[in-house]
Structure formats: structure tokens, C-alpha cells
Structure 1
């Protein structure tokens, strides 16, 4: 299965016994939208709802941090997601949060994980089928084995600030990156990690919400000043949209990359970390 699948392909595969479809929509509280309620009002047939807030580690003060392996496995099992399944993740969010679902599943050892190109927006625009409510799911067995080499912590990022050998790329909006716009979460300084580049995640998509690909996608990274020949660390507000950049780089064949899971929610809250404001 390819990492990016079309709406046509997915409709043709619905009902396959090994296929599991996942709605990973997520919204910031300021948007005033309820992802679970929207899922229950209309989703791709058979899809289950992955609550990104619920899957996060509640013991960590930073939001959306990875849970321990056994707890992640338990959440997946309760959704009927098991070993040997093919997973297709989609969203209906301007944050393109399906990429977070993709990254978590891959990081914990799932082999066959794809994102639906264009998400629910494209699916609905094409008049494809929807269902409402919550599907009945059968408990599955999910073996979680976290590849911690794809996760960067604050100490790691602190060690590569201004390093010529790495690229740190921030998926937040330009106004949040430069510090012109206040952070939506209280207690955070404005600005960005010194030496980082800014590539707002929305720049990786076409007007119909499909992913840019090939040279068009590569150009988005180049225009942000990102050298994809260097090891890549992505960051954002809380580790959600940073995964969009990881998936975009993955589509270009890149493998040496990490997510700074704490992102600005951790970095911006720590008075000891260096901060920069203004353009990169």
C-alpha cells in the first residue's frame, strides 16, 4: 500500500477485512469545533475516531506527548486496530492532523499506514458515501514497539541549535514564528527556536486539499530555505502540524528526520531555552 492513497482507491477497498479507516481530525479550542461530534455526524463508512487528546500522555505538562507503549497499544486495541491491518488515516481539519495519526502508528511499529489524499473534504466534494454514529468494533491486538530514534526531546534540540549539520523546521504560521502573533496557549513566550526555518504546513497542499507532490512539493521546502540533504527535525505548537512536514518529506523519500514532540509548548514555556523573534 502506498503512503498516500486516493479517494477512488479507498472507496474501492471499503469492506476489505484487513482494512481499518481512522478519522484523526483535531481542532484547536479557539476554532470552536468538536472533532468527535463532527465524526459522529458523518464519516467514511467503517471509520473509527482517533482522539488525539485522549491518546496523549496525561502525566506530561506539554500537550499531545507520546504515551508509553502499553498505553498506546491499549488505545489502539479498543478501537479495533490490530497487528496485520492496513490503516488509512484521514481528517477534516485545517491542521491536517491525519499526519499525526500516521506518524504515531508508524512510530509504534505499524507497517501499512497511509493518509487519504484530500481527506474528508475531498471525499465529500466527490459525493462519496458517509455514515453516522459510532461503528461497533471488535477488540484487536496491537503490538506497540516505539522507535524512539524518530523522536527528539528538548535536550537533543538544544544540542543542534544553530548547527550547520541539521535543519530545524517550524510548521506554525509565519506570524507565530516571527512572534508578531501571540501563542494560543497561555504561559508561552512568542517567537521560534533560534536557527530554525519556517514552513507553514498549509503550504504543502493544493487548493482542493490534496497533497503537493514531486517537484511542486520539493519547491515548498526549497522556498523555505530547507536543505533536505541534512537531517531534519520538525516542530510546531504541540507536535501536531510538525507531522505534516514529516509526511511531506517522507513523500520525497527522506528518512533521516525526527519530530520534536514537545515543540513550542515545551520550548516556549521554559525560561532557560533561547528564543528568537522576527524572520528566520
Structure 2
């Protein structure tokens, strides 16, 4: 079924809705073999692969490791995958929902409101006995018109302002937030004033989003308050997209994503860095 908040869909709901939905396979790893190889070995029938590194983000550089994609190029790529203005889109990943949430956020940022995440990803799909295939579909050219800016986002300065005037959530694991380790970016620590709530707290062990009440309680403990600005960041704007998805489930559709995240913040040596709790 489709969730009441139109953010997620379960495997049975997706199976019942095919072929009236465009399905995008967004499997991705920070390191290791490319998600495209997983797709080739088996995917949901009718699904088209979308690459997080090259299609759901721009070129890495001074704006971070996964900056916003160029709108014109994104439109061309989404149309090639069959994405239409008037047809629902379902995105999925291996199961934890993080890469799928990045795809969800980018499509909604591009103006495609009827985009949902397959709750539990392909792991939930196969667990419920639904088929996979190695056959790649023939896609019909889509007609999506990308309208960038349809989801709230933050620049570095706006992220700092949110940390001061509202709640800026750092979605990374606690040791990275505290600056004890930093396996990827050149500087360890966090944005001053940010609070830590790892993305893993948004979902259960099966990767499915927790209930709205559970998520609201968790964010309240992290300091999120009604009527006060809230934003999220992580290392490069992937896991924090899942935090924004969870905030939407909690009713905070105004939640903003700092897309460049820590990988953007540390490109300017004049920006302050905090460590510890």
C-alpha cells in the first residue's frame, strides 16, 4: 500500500501499481562495486537504473562531493529513463533507503511531486516473494519538465544560520560528528551549533521508516521544535536526504537539505569547525 503521507510505498502496493508507475533503481555504495552491477544481476521488472554519482548529482568539486545536478542535464537524463510529469515514480535501493531518499529528494526538488520510496527497498520486495529480472526494459521518452528549487535547500551560510536560529541536524554517525574520525573529507568535526541524530535512527532494522509518532519523538529529543527552522546535512547530502524524508513523515515538510553538506563546508578554511558533543 501507499503510506498515508504519500512518501513511501510497500512492495505489495508497488506490485499492484505496475506498470502504471516509473520505477528507478538507485542502488549505490560509498565504496565498493557500482550499484549498476547489482542492477544487472537482478532488479524489479520494468525498473531503470539511475546513478547517484553521475545523474543525481553534479560534478564533485568546490560545492561538495554530491552537489546539485545541472537542471537541463537532469531533465535530459530523467526523460531518457521515461519519467513523465503525470506518472508516479517509485525509487528504491538495496534496503536502507538512503540512496533512494537522495533520488526522492532530487526528483521532488525538480518538481516531480508524486515520487515515493519503496519502503525496505529491493530486500523487502524479494522477501515478500516478488520477482526480479535481468531484462532491461525498453523505455519510452518521458516529458518531465524540471523545475529546480521545488524542495527547500540550504547554502553554507544558510546552514550556519539554521544552526543558530533553529535546529541543524548532522545525520552522520556520532564519531564523525564529534571529529574523532573522518574517513572521507579532509577535516573532521561538525558545523558549530549542529546537533547529531544519525540517519540510522529513522528506520528499523529492516530499513523501513519508523512511524510518524516515533520519528517526531526522536526529533523532539534532538531539539526540533514546531515553528522553528530545521535543516539537515551529512557528509555529501545523501544520508541527510533520508533525514529530510523522515522529517516529512513527522510533518515537517519545510525541512531543508544542505546538499553540499560537510564536503562543501570544509572547502572554505574560514568556516568554523566544532568537535566533541
TM-score, normalised relative to structure 2: 0.92
Quote the offset at 1:47 in angstroms.
0.7
Work out whether 1:9 is the aligned partner of 2:13: yes
Q: Which residue of structure 2 lines up, in the alignment, with residue 91 of structure 1?
A: 93
| Residue range with higher mean Cα deviation, 176-185 or 241-250 | 176-185
- Aligned partner of 2:194 among 193, 196, 217: 196
Quote the offset at 1:124 in angstroms.
1.6
Note the 1:34-73 alignment, pairs <5 A. 34-55=34-55, 56-58=57-59, 60-61=61-62, 62-73=64-75
8 Å contact kept, 2:45–2:133:
yes
How many residues of Structure 1 are paired with residues of Structure 2 in the alignment? Answer: 271
8 Å contact kept, 2:160–2:192:
no
Moved runs in structure 1, 4+ residues, more than 6 A?
none
Cα pair distance change 1:151/1:249, threshold 3 Å: same
Q: Which residue of structure 1 lines up, in the alignment, with residue 270 of structure 2?
A: 272
Work out whether 1:145 is the aligned partner of 2:174: no
* Distance in 2, Cα, partners of 1:95 & 1:111: 18
8 Å contact kept, 1:23–1:91:
yes
* Distance in 2, Cα, partners of 1:15 & 1:111: 19
Q: Which residue of structure 2 lines up, in the alignment, with residue 21 of structure 1?
A: 23
Q: Which residue of structure 1 lines up, in the alignment, with residue 182 of structure 2?
A: 182
Deviations 1:204-225 (A, max 9, x none): 1112221101221222212333
Deviations 1:241-271 (A, max 9, x none): 1111100010111122211111000112321
* Distance in 1, Cα, partners of 2:231 & 2:127: 34
8 Å contact kept, 1:97–1:240:
yes
Deviations 1:182-238 (A, max 9, x none): 2324xx210100100111101111122211012212222123333354211110000
Work out whether 1:173 is the aligned partner of 2:177: no
* Distance in 2, Cα, partners of 1:197 & 1:147: 25
Q: Which runs of 5+ in 1 are unaligned?
A: none
TM-score, normalised relative to structure 1: 0.91
8 Å contact kept, 2:171–2:239:
yes
Q: Which runs of 5+ in 2 are unaligned?
A: none
Q: Which residue of structure 2 lines up, in the alignment, with residue 225 of structure 1?
A: 223
SS of the aligned residue for 2:53 comes to helix
Q: Which residue of structure 1 lines up, in the alignment, with residue 122 of structure 2?
A: 120
| Residue range with higher mean Cα deviation, 126-135 or 242-251 | 126-135
Q: Which residue of structure 2 lines up, in the alignment, with residue 207 of structure 1?
A: 205
SS of the aligned residue for 2:169 comes to strand
8 Å contact kept, 1:168–1:233:
yes
8 Å contact kept, 1:238–1:263:
yes
8 Å contact kept, 1:41–1:133:
no
* Distance in 2, Cα, partners of 1:176 & 1:102: 25
